[in-house]
Amino acid sequence: MEEQKKSTLAAWFASPEGEYVLRWEQGQFDSAVEDVFGFNAVQIGLRQFDLLRQSRIALHTQLGMDPASDLVADSGALPLASGSIDLVVLPHVLEFSPHPHRILREAARVLMPDGHIVISGFNPLSLWGVKRALPPRRDEYPWCGRFIGLLRLKDWLQLLSFELNGGRFGCYAPPFSQAKWLGRAAFMEKAGDRWWPIAGGVYVVRAVKRTVGMRLVMPNWRKQAMSAKALSPVAQQNHHSAGNDA
């Protein structure tokens, strides 16, 4: 029964560890999406949790391989038009995919210029990363994922013309499997924010897609017209002088 509980990431979020992470992440997603405006927002993965609940964007779509998703599709091949989406959220999608770069490229493709992406992930440079490295955890969620460090993620985003404009680490308590021990370690949240802010177990970051604009060099028709007008009296004068000489 325990193996069945941890057979998916969504099931793990029902455990004491998962609930602890979900509470913190839900608050971060709420804050990250509430001031993003537009017409279309897409949540990729974890359809069981509404991470767009505070978004003011009118149309919300949940996309993923889960048959209950609004749009059943591979996150690495999005059936969406290029430049058609204002907001994409990726809750723990990259670290459980064999092709995280492809997913980010697809997200960049479908986002409009100045569109936003919000990503959550487990921090390998934390007590949670240490637990992942201990056997025999690697066949269970979330320890079977390939945790991606924030610096590496930032490099990937920059290559796709994204610019970070928000983010935070959280969940500084050790990954205890019992709720009572997580409760006793609650004091570590404030201490972690102050003394070791980059050592949180998870992070949520937001980035905006920057598009390098093209400047078209067009003929200055007005300037050319003014120049022609200024030269016309000279031409008329020369023509008149030529007539007198004749």
pLDDT in tens, 66-90: 999 999 999 999 999 999 999 999 9
Residue type, 47: R
% of residues, the chain, pLDDT over 70:
82
Residue type, 240: H
Residue 233 has pLDDT above 60, yes or no: no
Residue 127: partners with Cβ closer than 8 Å, 6 or more residues away:
174, 175, 199, 201
CA 21 to chain centre: 19
Domain ranges (residues) in the chain: 2-209
What pLDDT is stored for residue 188 in this prediction? 82
Convert the pLDDT of each residue in 29-54 to its tens digit.
999 999 999 999 999 999 999 999 99
Q: How many helices (H) and strands (E) does the chain have?
A: 9, 7
| Contact yes or no for 107/91 (Cβ under 8 A) | no
- 174 Ramachandran zone, left/alpha/beta (phi>0; psi -120 to 50): beta
Neighbours of 245 (CB within 10 A): 6
| Contact yes or no for 124/144 (Cβ under 8 A) | no
CATH of 2-209, one of 3.40.50.150, 3.40.50.720, 3.40.50.2300, 3.10.20.30: 3.40.50.150
Strands (E), 123-178: 162-170
What pLDDT is stored for residue 193 in this prediction? 77
**For the chain, what is the mean pLDDT?**
85
Per-residue tokens: 236 = 């008329």
Q: Once rounded to an integer, what is the mean pLDDT over residues 166-185?
A: 88
Per-residue tokens: 182 = 């997580």
Q: Report the alpha-carbon distance of residue 42 to residue 221 in Å, rounded.
A: 45
